[in-house]
C-alpha cells in the first residue's frame, strides 16, 4: 500500500464577508453523445479518486481523447436539476454507509502527525457506491451498500437542492463521474447512455488533459473550485470521482460571536467563536457523554455541527470518533447547556486514502464492467484513493468543497439541576451533519476562519 501523503495548503475564505457573493447560479448544459474508438490493449491499474470539503465536494470530467478523433469524443453531460425541497436521507442508508465511511477514515484523523485536517465521508461513499454501481462482484458489505445503483442515486438526490428565504440560504450540489483516461479501457457508448443521468456522468480524456478536463467539468457541473490533484497515472486507466459542494448560510448579522478562551498547542489564547448560549440563558442541546469525551450538536440552519470534545487532559488522538458518532446519533439526549464553538477553516489536498481499502478488496472484483466495451481486456485494479477537501465555519455559517478520485434519534433525557458547560476551549473534532450524515469531519487544534 502507498504511504500516506498529505499536503496542507494555505486557506482562503470560502464564505465572504459580503453575503451577496454567496449566490452562485448553475449554468444549464446540453446533453451530448460519446463515441469511443478502441485502440490496442495495454495493462494498467484503475484509480479511484475522491475529493472532500467541509461543505463542498469535487468531481472531474473529460472532453477529448486524441486530436484525430476530437470531434467524436464529446462528453456525456446532463443538466443538473436542483430541488427546492429539502430531501431527507433514509435512516437505514445513513446507518449503513455513514458509519462504514467514518470507520475507514478515522485513522487518518487520529494520526498524531495530523493536526488540523478535514475528511469527507460523503464523497468517499459517493465514489465507492459509484464504482460499485458499474462493477461486478464488488464487496458492498465493506462499505454498507446493499444495492449500489439505488444507494448512490439516493445520496445524490439528497445532496442536490437549494433552499432560500429571509433567514439565509442552503445548497448542496454533488455528482459522480467516471473518466476514461487514454484509449485502452474504452467505454461503450450504449453503456454510457444507460449509466448516465442528471448526477452521474462519463467522460473520455487523454493523459495530457484529464486534470484540466475534470476541473472544467466540475466547475460547470457544480461550481467546484478545488482542482484535481496529480493522480500519477503512468499508463491508461479509469478514474471514478465523488464530488460535493455545500453551503449553509445565515443571513443578516450572522451567528452571535465573541472572542473566547482556547488552549492552543503554544499556550492559552482566544478564538473568534459562535456563542450558542450563555449561562444566564441556557438552551436545550442534543448531548452524549462517553468514557473520555462528550458530544453535542449545534444547529447552523439546515445543517448541524456535531462537536466531539475530549475530556480535560485527554489527547484528542485517543478519542474513538467512530464510537462517538455512532453513540451520539443513537443515544443523544436533550440537556440544558451553554457554551461556544470556535470558528475554523481546514483545507487538505491530495490526501492518499488508499490504505482505507486494506483487507476489504477480495480480488474478485471486475471493475467498470458495466461501462467498458465487451471486447476490452479488463485487468483493472484499484491503484489509489485520493481526496481533497476545503471546509470553513465562520459567522455566516459553513461552506466546503470535496473531491474523491477512486444516527437514531434525539430524546429528552434526565433533568439536570444546572446547565452543562460546553465551552469548546481545547482541540476538538467537528462533524458537519445533514440528516445525521457526516458530510465533513474536521480535526481542529488551531481555530481561526
- Where are the chain's structural domains? 7-251+345-405, 257-343+410-444
pLDDT class of 2 with cuts at 50, 70, 90: very low
**Can you tell me the mean pLDDT for 44-68?**
32
**52 C-beta neighbours (distance < 10 Å), count:** 37
Calculate what percentage of the chain has a pLDDT beyond 70: 78
SS3 content of the chain, % helix, strand, coil (to 5): 20, 35, 45
DSSP E strand boundaries for 251-310: 257-264, 267-277, 283-289, 293-299, 304-310
pLDDT class of 10 with cuts at 50, 70, 90: very low
**Can you tell me the mean pLDDT for 276-294?**
95
Interatomic CA distance for residues 364 and 198, integer angstroms? 30
For residue 213, the SS3 value is: helix
**Can you tell me the mean pLDDT for 386-407?**
90
Q: Give the cell for residue 432.
A: 458537519
State the burial class of residue 364 (Cβ atoms within 10 Å of its Cβ: 0-12, 13-18, 19+).
exposed
Please list, in sequence order, all residues whose beta carbon lies within 8 angstroms of the beta carbon of residue 35, skipping any fewer than 6 positions away: 69, 72, 73, 74, 189
Q: What is the DSSP letter of 366?
A: B
State the burial class of residue 165 (Cβ atoms within 10 Å of its Cβ: 0-12, 13-18, 19+).
exposed
Question: Which of the given ranges, 29-43, 376-390, 404-418, has the highest pLDDT on average?
Answer: 376-390
Interatomic CA distance for residues 298 and 109, integer angstroms? 21
pLDDT class of 449 with cuts at 50, 70, 90: low
The C-alpha cell 471486447 sits at 375
The C-alpha cell 461543505 sits at 55
pLDDT class of 57 with cuts at 50, 70, 90: very low
Measuring CA to CA, which residue among 75, 433, 402, 3 is closest to residue 241?
402
Measuring CA to CA, which residue among 141, 14, 154 is closest to residue 94?
154
Asked whether residue 41 carries a pLDDT value surpassing 50, the answer given is no
Asked whether residue 70 carries a pLDDT value surpassing 80, the answer given is no
In this prediction, residue 77 carries a pLDDT of 43
Q: Give the cell for residue 125.
A: 461513499
**Can you tell me the mean pLDDT for 330-346?**
95
Q: What Å distances lie between residue 393 and 110, 160, 294, 430, CA to CA? A: 21, 21, 21, 10
Interatomic CA distance for residues 25 and 206, integer angstroms? 30
Do 425 and 260 form a contact (C-beta atoms < 8 A)?
yes
In this prediction, residue 143 carries a pLDDT of 95
**Can you tell me the mean pLDDT for 386-409?**
84
Interatomic CA distance for residues 130 and 51, integer angstroms? 14
Interatomic CA distance for residues 438 and 394, integer angstroms? 19
**Can you tell me the mean pLDDT for 212-224?**
95
Q: Whole-model pTM?
A: 0.82
Q: Report domain 7-251+345-405's class.
A: alpha beta
CATH number of 257-343+410-444: 2.30.39.10
Measuring CA to CA, which residue among 15, 34, 13, 33 is closest to residue 23?
15
**How confident is the model over 116-173, as pLDDT tens digits?**
999 999 999 999 999 999 999 999 999 999 999 999 999 999 999 998 888 899 999 9
**Can you tell me the mean pLDDT for 187-193?**
94
Q: Give the cell for residue 155.
A: 445520496
Asked whether residue 382 carries a pLDDT value surpassing 60, the answer given is yes
Amino acid at each position: 500500500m502507498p504511504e500516506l501523503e498529505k499536503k496542507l495548503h494555505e486557506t482562503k475564505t470560502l464564505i465572504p464577508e459580503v453575503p451577496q457573493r454567496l449566490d452562485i447560479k448553475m449554468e444549464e448544459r446540453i446533453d451530448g453523445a460519446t463515441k469511443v474508438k478502441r485502440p490496442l490493449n495495454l495493462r494498467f491499474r484503475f484509480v479511484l479518486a475522491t475529493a472532500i470539503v467541509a461543505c463542498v465536494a469535487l468531481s472531474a470530467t473529460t472532453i477529448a481523447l486524441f486530436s484525430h478523433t476530437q470531434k467524436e469524443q464529446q462528453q456525456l453531460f446532463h443538466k443538473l436539476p436542483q430541488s427546492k425541497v429539502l430531501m431527507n436521507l433514509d435512516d437505514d442508508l445513513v446507518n449503513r454507509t455513514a458509519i462504514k465511511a467514518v470507520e475507514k477514515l478515522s485513522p487518518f484523523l487520529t494520526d498524531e502527525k495530523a493536526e488540523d485536517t478535514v475528511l469527507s465521508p460523503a464523497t468517499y461513499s459517493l465514489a465507492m457506491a459509484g464504482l460499485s454501481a458499474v462493477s461486478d462482484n464488488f464487496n458492498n458489505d465493506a462499505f454498507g451498500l446493499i444495492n449500489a445503483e439505488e444507494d448512490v442515486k439516493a445520496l445524490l438526490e439528497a445532496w442536490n437542492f437549494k433552499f432560500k428565504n429571509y433567514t439565509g440560504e442552503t445548497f448542496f450540489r454533488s455528482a459522480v463521474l467516471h473518466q476514461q483516461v487514454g484509449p485502452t479501457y474504452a467505454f461503450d457508448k450504449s453503456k454510457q447512455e444507460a449509466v448516465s443521468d442528471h448526477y452521474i456522468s462519463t467522460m473520455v480524456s487523454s493523459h495530457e488533459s484529464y486534470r484540466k478536463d475534470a476541473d472544467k467539468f466540475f466547475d460547470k457541473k457544480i461550481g467546484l473550485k478545488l482542482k484535481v490533484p496529480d493522480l500519477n497515472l503512468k499508463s491508461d486507466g479509469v478514474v471514478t470521482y465523488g464530488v460535493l459542494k455545500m453551503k449553509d448560510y445565515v443571513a443578516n448579522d450572522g451567528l452571535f460571536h465573541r472572542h473566547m478562551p482556547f488552549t492552543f498547542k503554544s499556550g492559552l489564547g482566544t478564538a473568534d467563536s459562535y456563542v450558542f448560549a450563555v449561562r444566564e440563558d441556557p438552551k436545550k442541546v442534543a448531548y452524549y457523554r462517553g468514557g473520555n469525551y462528550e458530544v453535542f450538536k449545534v444547529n447552523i440552519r439546515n445543517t448541524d455541527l456535531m462537536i466531539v470534545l475530549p475530556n480535560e487532559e485527554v489527547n484528542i488522538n485517543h478519542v474513538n470518533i467512530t464510537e462517538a458518532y455512532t453513540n451520539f446519533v443513537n443515544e443523544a439526549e436533550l440537556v440544558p447547556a451553554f457554551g461556544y464553538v470556535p470558528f475554523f477553516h481546514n483545507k487538505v489536498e491530495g490526501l492518499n486514502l488508499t490504505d482505507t481499502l486494506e483487507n476489504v478488496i477480495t480480488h474478485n472484483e471486475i471493475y467498470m464492467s458495466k461501462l467498458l466495451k465487451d471486447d476490452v481486456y479488463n485487468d483493472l485494479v484499484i491503484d489509489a484513493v485520493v481526496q481533497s477537501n476545503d471546509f470553513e465555519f465562520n459567522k455566516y455559517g459553513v461552506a466546503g468543497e470535496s473531491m474523491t478520485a477512486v444516527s437514531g434519534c434525539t430524546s429528552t433525557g434526565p433533568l439536570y439541576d444546572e446547565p452543562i458547560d460546553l465551552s469548546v476551549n481545547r482541540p476538538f473534532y467537528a462533524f458537519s451533519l445533514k440528516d445525521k450524515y457526516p458530510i465533513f469531519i474536521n480535526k481542529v487544534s488551531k481555530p481561526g476562519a
